[in-house]
Amino acid sequence: MGKDVLIDMRHITKRFPGVVANDQVTFKVQAGEVHALLGENGAGKSTLMSILSGLYRPDEGEIVIRGKRVTLKSPRSAIDHGIGMIHQHFKLITPFTVAENIALGSLDQSFKLDMKKIEQKVAEFSQKFGLHVDPQAKIWQLSIGEQQRVEIIKVLYQGADILILDEPTAVLTPQEVEELFVTVRKMAKEGKAVVIITHKLHEVMNISDRITILRKGKTIRTVAKGEVDTQELTQMMLNREVKTEIHRKPVPKGKAVLTLDKVSALGDKGLKALDDVSLTVREGEILGIAGVAGNGQRELTEVITGLRMATSGKVLIDDQDMTNQSPRMIIDAGVSHVPEDRMGMGLIPNMDVTNNIILKDYRRGSLGKGLLLPLNKAREMAENIVRNFDVKTPSVDTPVRLLSGGNLQKLLLAREIAENPRLIVTSYPIRGLDVGATESIYNLLLHQREQGRAILLIAEDLDTIMKISDRVAVLFKGKVMGLEDTDQATIDDVGAMMLGESPLEGREA
Partner 1 sequence: MKNNERTRKNIIIEKRASVSPIITISITLISIVMALIFVSVFLFAKGYHPVEIYQMMFTRAFISKYGLTETVIKAIPLMLAGLGISIAFRMLLWNIGAEGQIYMGAFAASGIALAFPDLPRIVLLPAMLLAGFVMGGLWALVAAIPRALWKVNETITTLMLNYIAILWVSYLVFGPWKDPQGFNFPLTREFSEGAAYPLLFGTRVHFGIIIALLVALVLYVVLNYTRWGYEIRVIGESESAARYAGMNVMRNILLVMFLSGGLAGMAGMGEVAGVAHRLQAGVSPGYGYTAIIVAWLGKLNPWVIVLIAFLFGGLTVGASAVQSVGLPAATSVMIQGAILFFVLGADIFMRYRISFNRKREEG
- CB burial of residue 71 (10 Å; 0-12, 13-18, 19+): exposed
Tell me phi and psi for residue 217, to 5 degrees: 85, 0
Give me the DSSP letters along 323-349.
TT--HHHHHHTTEEEE-S-TBTTTB-T
Shortest Cβ 144–partner 1 spacing (Å): 23
Q: Is 375 near partner 1 (CB under 8 A)?
A: yes
- Residue among 52, 347, 385, 413 that touches partner 1 (CB under 8 A): 347
- Residue among 108, 114, 190, 341 that touches partner 1 (CB under 8 A): 341
Q: Are 105 and 151 in contact (CB under 8 A)?
A: no
Shortest Cβ 75–partner 1 spacing (Å): 16
- Residue among 3, 76, 262, 328 that touches partner 1 (CB under 8 A): 328
Q: Are 429 and 441 in contact (CB under 8 A)?
A: yes
Number of residues that bind partner 1 (CB under 8 A): 36
Shortest Cβ 367–partner 1 spacing (Å): 8
Shortest Cβ 17–partner 1 spacing (Å): 4
Segment contacting partner 1 (CB under 8 A): 187-195, 371-379, 449-457, 471-479? 371-379
Helix (H) / strand (E) element for 287: namely: strand 286-290
Instruction: Find, among 128, 239, 202, the residue nearest to 463 by Cα.
Output: 202
Q: Is 345 near partner 1 (CB under 8 A)?
A: yes
Give me the DSSP letters along 215-278.
ETTEEEEEEEGGG--HHHHHHHHHSS--------------SEEEEEEEEEEE-TTSSEEEEEEE
Segment contacting partner 1 (CB under 8 A): 27-35, 136-144, 219-227, 370-378? 370-378
3-state secondary structure of 138: strand
Shortest Cβ 502–partner 1 spacing (Å): 35
Distance CA 506, CA 509 (A): 5
What is the DSSP secondary structure assignment for residue 425, as one 8-state letter? E
Q: Is 421 near partner 1 (CB under 8 A)?
A: no
Instruction: Compare residues 17 and 226 and give the one whose CB is closer to partner 1.
Output: 17
Shortest Cβ 272–partner 1 spacing (Å): 23
Q: Is 265 near partner 1 (CB under 8 A)?
A: no
Shortest Cβ 393–partner 1 spacing (Å): 14
Instruction: Compare residues 81 and 479 and give the one whose CB is closer to partner 1.
Output: 81
Shortest Cβ 420–partner 1 spacing (Å): 17
Site string for partner 1, 48-87 (x = CB under 8 A): ------------x----------x----------------
Instruction: Find, among 152, 178, 208, the residue nearest to 33 by Cα.
Output: 208
Instruction: Compare residues 271 and 371 and give the one whose CB is closer to partner 1.
Output: 371
Distance CA 213, CA 224 (A): 11
Can you give the C-alpha Rg of the chain in angstroms?
24
Shortest Cβ 266–partner 1 spacing (Å): 17
- CB burial of residue 279 (10 Å; 0-12, 13-18, 19+): buried
- Residue among 213, 292, 304, 358 that touches partner 1 (CB under 8 A): 358
Shortest Cβ 378–partner 1 spacing (Å): 9
Residues 6+ apart with CB under 8 A from 412: 338, 342, 346, 347
Q: Is 270 near partner 1 (CB under 8 A)?
A: no
- Residue among 3, 76, 255, 363 that touches partner 1 (CB under 8 A): 363
- Residue among 282, 360, 453, 471 that touches partner 1 (CB under 8 A): 360
Distance CA 99, CA 108 (A): 14
Q: Is 346 near partner 1 (CB under 8 A)?
A: yes
Q: Is 373 near partner 1 (CB under 8 A)?
A: yes
Check the CA dihedral 419-346-447-467 and report its sign: positive
Distance CA 308, CA 327 (A): 9
Instruction: Compare residues 93 and 375 and give the one whose CB is closer to partner 1.
Output: 375
Distance CA 337, CA 334 (A): 10
Q: Is 339 near partner 1 (CB under 8 A)?
A: yes
Shortest Cβ 25–partner 1 spacing (Å): 15
How many Cβ atoms sit within 10 Å of the Cβ of residue 10?
A: 16
- Residue among 3, 244, 362, 447 that touches partner 1 (CB under 8 A): 362
3-state secondary structure of 28: strand
Shortest Cβ 184–partner 1 spacing (Å): 34
Report the site for partner 1 in 287-326 (rule: CB under 8 A). Answer: 305, 307, 326
Instruction: Find, among 204, 209, 258, 268, the residue nearest to 236 by Cα.
Output: 204
Report the site for partner 1 in 175-204 (rule: CB under 8 A). Answer: none
Helical axes 230-238 vs 435-450, angle rounded to 10°:
100
Tell me the β-bridge partners of 477. none
Q: Is 397 near partner 1 (CB under 8 A)?
A: no
CA distances, 453 to each of 118, 136, 425 (Å): 55, 50, 11
- Residue among 372, 387, 487, 508 that touches partner 1 (CB under 8 A): 372
Segment contacting partner 1 (CB under 8 A): 21-29, 121-129, 259-267, 362-370? 362-370
Query: Interface with partner 1 by CB under 8 A: which residues?
Result: 17-18, 60, 71, 305, 307, 326-332, 337, 339, 341, 344-351, 355, 358-360, 362-363, 370-373, 375, 402
